[in-house]
Homo-oligomer: A and B are copies of this chain.
Amino acid sequence: MKKLDLTLYFVTDSTDKTETDFLEIVRQACEGGVTIVQLREKERSGLEYLRLAEKVKQVTDKYNVPLIIDDRVDIAMAVDAAGVHVGQTDIPVHVARRLLGKNKIVGATAKTVEQAKKAKEEGADYLGVGAIYPTTTKVVTVITEVSILNEIAVQTNMPVVAIGGLNASNMHVLYESMADGIAVVTAIMKSKDPRNAAMSLKKQVLDNFKKITNSR
């Protein structure tokens, strides 16, 4: 059975961290209640990525949190991860699905309704939509992105997680949206208390997101 809860989707970034510190942050995030961990390593060699995935898997397994591997289907298979997440420049959804089979999670990034529909056709289980907050945050951009997220959720009827610069102070733009949860990197990775950050972010999503409130 695939367990898919997008409430608080933690995307990792091990840059500039020792392995020990990195794994401890992942552990605390799990303890704090993140509902998914995605290991994302763009700069590492295949061997380094695999070794880190093995270690992160031991942590996430302990807390029964599904581990998603970014991009590398082979590494997801090698560590028996819960699934993969693929972007528009990664292996396509239908190929990931074919390699992983129907019991694994395949998530896809979608920035447009067209991309979202394609991902659905190809067999994705959920969509990551963003960036809600780009590097240079503009109010107009935020509104546009949330409206696209809603359009994607309505037109595909798929679970959608919002991503991009989200934190406790700015996630309110999503309260009335069709998002099933938020994906965060910095809000947990760079927190001085990742466990508490995760707990607090999760509570904020659960208390305020319309889709979650309605589905109770």
Residues of B with C-beta under 8 A to A90: 45-47
Among A47, A71, A98, the most chain B Cβ lie within 10 Å of the Cβ of A47
Q: Tell me, rounded to whole Å, the shortest Cβ–Cβ distance linking A200 to chain B.
A: 35
The bracket for how many chain A residues form the interface is 20 to 34
A193 close to B (CB within 8 Å): no
Query: Looking at the complex, which of A4-12, A32-40, A73-81 is the stretch in contact with chain B?
Result: A73-81
Cα distance, A89 to B45, chains bound together (Å): 6
Cα distance, A92 to B91, chains bound together (Å): 21
Residues of B with C-beta under 8 A to A73: 74, 77-78
Cα distance, A71 to B48, chains bound together (Å): 13
Copies held by the complex: 2
A95 close to B (CB within 8 Å): yes
* Contact pick for A78, options B45, B48, B75, B91, CB 8 Å: B91
Cα distance, A125 to B138, chains bound together (Å): 56
Residues of B with C-beta under 8 A to A78: 73, 91, 95, 98-99
Q: Tell me, rounded to whole Å, the shortest Cβ–Cβ distance linking A40 to chain B.
A: 13
A158 close to B (CB within 8 Å): no
A142 close to B (CB within 8 Å): no
Residues of B with C-beta under 8 A to A92: 47, 50
Cβ-closest chain B residue relative to A49: B91
Residues of chain A touching chain B, judged by Cβ–Cβ distance below 8 Å, are 45-48, 50, 71-75, 77-78, 86, 88-92, 95, 98-99
5 contacts between A and B (CB under 8 A): A47-B91, A50-B95, A74-B91, A78-B91, A78-B99
